[in-house]
Structure 1
Amino acid sequence: MTRSGLTNHGPAEPGLAGPGSTPLSLADLASAARDVLPGEIWDFLAGGSGAEAAVAANRAAFERIHVIPRVLRDLTGGGTEVEVLGRSAALPVAVAPVAYQRLFHPEGELAAARAARDAGVPYVICTLSSVVLEEVAAVGGRPWFQLYWLRDERRCLDLVRRAEDAGCEAIVFTVDVPWMGRRLRDMRNGFALPEWVTAANFDAGTAAHRRTRGASAVADHTAREFAPATWDSVAAVRARTNLPVVLKGVLAVEDARRAVQAGADGIVVSNHGGRQLDSAVPGVDVLGEIAAAVAGGCEVLLDGGVRSGGDVLKAVALGASAVLVGRPVMWGLAAAGQDGVRQALDLLAAEFRDALGLAGCRSVAAVRDLRTTAPRHR
């Protein structure tokens, strides 16, 4: 399978093969994914909004941060386990919600969820999943459900009920998408979903499949289905479920404090991977300030730009209880299905374990006492 086209039933079954094919970094998986995916699907995954300044800024922000390691510490008996939203995870990592994963591999969300289960980390099912949420949740492990606010409030809150009934452990309410940002790669490609990929959680009609030159059919679909969320929307979700509610897409200290007041159990500091406001600050640049502002009133997670276990270490040192990782997991999915996702998560685990010890930390809890060149507000 090359980047030039699609099979009749989705991307061809890919795999990493040949001498030297074992990935040693997430960048290796990115190269393998780019080789196997059609160009417009790679663009859908890799691209951001506008000039993609926020996408680049997310990486630049991580690269500016340096950890000040400690030495001569006892490192015996350590581990990478952490508690996130009241449950144990093997790493301070969760798989971020990513729409339409059957674009990247025929098994889509099912393959990714199985790999996350086996790796011992939470998997966030997207509202725009290409496999119905009940099937993905049935894989087991630690499923969470990501919610977009829909024009049909009844249908939106019904998704919350379905997620709870299916065994999801949290509702991750994305609050930074009043509408989809202008993603120029998709517009230039006239991107539309292929016929075998649908928004499986609700009947979305044909809007996302209708190709129009100079426009994104996915953006057209979301414009028809999504509505801007408000604090009243948060109250409605909070009242609808007993599950932990996490607000994803918070960047302002004022919003973080209000989230605590609104009863949120957690927030995800995120600029949506650079796919919404192109001038938005990188989440990691404001993470320390936000963690200090909420002062334990809710959990603080980070999303956007994480590309290594060292990045995970930096985020935890700045106050995150865990990070969400999206694109790198999808690189693994495209490159080798379930095995590729597990390779991505195994790489993060190995790199984080290495960074943990080299920073002089026996446990994740010890990382929170590290200093960095981006000081955490205390």
Structure 2
Amino acid sequence: MLKANDWQSQIYINGFAGKNDQVTPDWNKLEAQAIQKMDHKAAGYIVGGAGLQETVAANRSGFAQWKIVPRMLRNVEQSDTSINLFGQTFSSPFWLCPIGVLEMVHPEADLAVAKAAAQAGIPYVFSNQASVPMETCAGAMGTAPRFFQLYWSKNRDLVASFVQRAEACGCAGIVLTLDTTLLGWRTMDLDLAYLPFMEGKGIAQYTSDPVFQKMLDAKLQDPNAAGPPRPPLTMQLLKGLISSVQRYPGKGFLQKLRSGRPMGAVQLFVQTYSNPAITWEDLAFLREHTKLPILLKGILHPDDARKALDYGMNGIVVSNHGGRQVDGAISAIEALPGVVEAVNKQVPVILDSGIRGGADVFKALALGASAVGLGRPYVYGLTLGGQQGVYEVLRHLMADFELTMRLAGCRRVEEIERGCLNV
């Protein structure tokens, strides 16, 4: 793996030869180019946030209040960006956040991301709402590190099945997302009246699951089962029906259509995928069904962080879901110091929401984060260049962080601490 200055030099040398990378290292251009290439529905789903988008904006502005204070003459010729999490050593303090329905931006979807993550040596958190089953992605990653994101559905057997599958395909931990027991008021999606799951997109973890298939059998065999209200027959509805049939596993379009399983799967998913009734006491069920570390994602309040420790959780992910759930919420970086203080180094604390450059990573680590999660930027790389596009985004960010760390006077991640910042 090239060091940061070597990666930087390679970009300049390639440019001198008239060859540019597939994706720009300029964040603003990256986002603009990706949005331009996306279908407008995909752009609304990937880019959009809740309400007035205030939390999306706060995730960026929250970083600006913290200023790096570089120190000089520290001999930073050699550097080490590695970290240790859950007994494993990773080459850099990043992981790839779970983002669903990636088939909206590239046909290889999660599989391309999994391959790029393995190539870069960065852990990938498989999305609960993936377009590709976790087993397929795990098979493409070899021994590279991965985790699994879990949404708590209304069916406990399904929850247990997802966890067992994650263990079987080598995941290093379960990332339980707490902040999406209901969908936020996502105005860009609502303005388009579009939810990709209705077309059978982003439900590959379900249609590949044996418990979900048994649930679907029962649903289709129950003559008294009530389905959702039927919308009027339109061309758009027909396109959605065709999409759901095409995406359902198996061969034979007409055979799948006649079985009723594709649309039945969509309906069953909508009925079961989230559960707003879960409480802290439900965590015991999860612990009974896995020996893997359990991280709680969506923690923003110090009291919730303390409670997570009381309930035996193994890690915290400070996140507001990229601003997609509660408009006007506190930014992730603002919440980080209080959560870190509450946890008091008893478990790792990972920050996501708003990371766009190496300076953001440095600031998060200085405020006590053990690692950071990257979200939308890698999706933009996927949009523009598939697996190679994701890899280039990751390498750009890794190089940016390493150079920032060294230029600030730190040789190792352990040297990045609160005294490196001024507010």
TM-score over 0.5 (shorter chain): yes
Which residue of the partner structure matches residue 41 of structure 1?
42
- Is 1:185 aligned to 2:234, yes or no? no
What is the letter of the counterpart of residue 419 of structure 2? L
- Is 1:174 aligned to 2:174, yes or no? no
For 2:55 and 2:270, the matched residues in 1 are separated by: 21
Superposition pairs of residues 1-378 of structure 1, within 5 angstroms: 22-140=23-141, 141-193=144-196, 195=199, 197-203=201-207, 222=270, 224-228=272-276, 229-368=278-417, 370-374=419-423
- Structure number with greater Rg is 2
Where 2:111 maps in the other structure, the secondary structure is: helix
- Write the deviation string for residues 14-46 of structure 1: whole angstroms up to 9, x where unpaired: xxx997865122333212211211111111000
Change (3 A) 1:158 1:220: closer
- Write the deviation string for residues 126-173 of structure 1: whole angstroms up to 9, x where unpaired: 111111111112222111000000001110111001100111111000
CA RMSD, aligned part only? 2.4
Change (3 A) 1:301 1:198: closer
- Write the deviation string for residues 102-139 of structure 1: whole angstroms up to 9, x where unpaired: 11100000000110111111000011111111111222
- Write the deviation string for residues 47-72 of structure 1: whole angstroms up to 9, x where unpaired: 00111110011001012211222222
Gaps of 5+ in 1: 1-16, 213-217
Change (3 A) 1:361 1:144: same
Structure 2 length-normalised TM: 0.78
- Write the deviation string for residues 236-266 of structure 1: whole angstroms up to 9, x where unpaired: 1122111111000000000001111111111
Deviation at 1:286, TM superposition (A): 1.8
Gaps of 5+ in 2: 1-17, 217-226, 238-265
For 2:203 and 2:340, the matched residues in 1 are separated by: 34
For 1:146 and 1:21, the matched residues in 2 are separated by: 29
What is the letter of the counterpart of residue 186 of structure 2? R
- Number of equivalenced pairs: 352
Where 2:129 maps in the other structure, the secondary structure is: coil
Where 1:237 maps in the other structure, the secondary structure is: helix
Where 1:351 maps in the other structure, the secondary structure is: helix
Deviation at 1:75, TM superposition (A): 1.3
Deviation at 1:202, TM superposition (A): 1.0
For 1:21 and 1:124, the matched residues in 2 are separated by: 24
Where 2:205 maps in the other structure, the secondary structure is: coil
Deviation at 1:221, TM superposition (A): 5.7
Sequence identity (%): 36
For 1:226 and 1:139, the matched residues in 2 are separated by: 29
Deviation at 1:267, TM superposition (A): 0.4
What is the letter of the counterpart of residue 104 of structure 1? V
> For the Cα contact (< 8 Å) 1:180–1:222, is it kept in 2?
no
Large movers: runs of 4+ above 4 Å = 17-22, 204-207, 218-224
For 1:87 and 1:372, the matched residues in 2 are separated by: 28
- Greater helix fraction, Structure 1 or Structure 2: 2
What is the letter of the counterpart of residue 417 of structure 2? R
Structure 1 length-normalised TM: 0.87
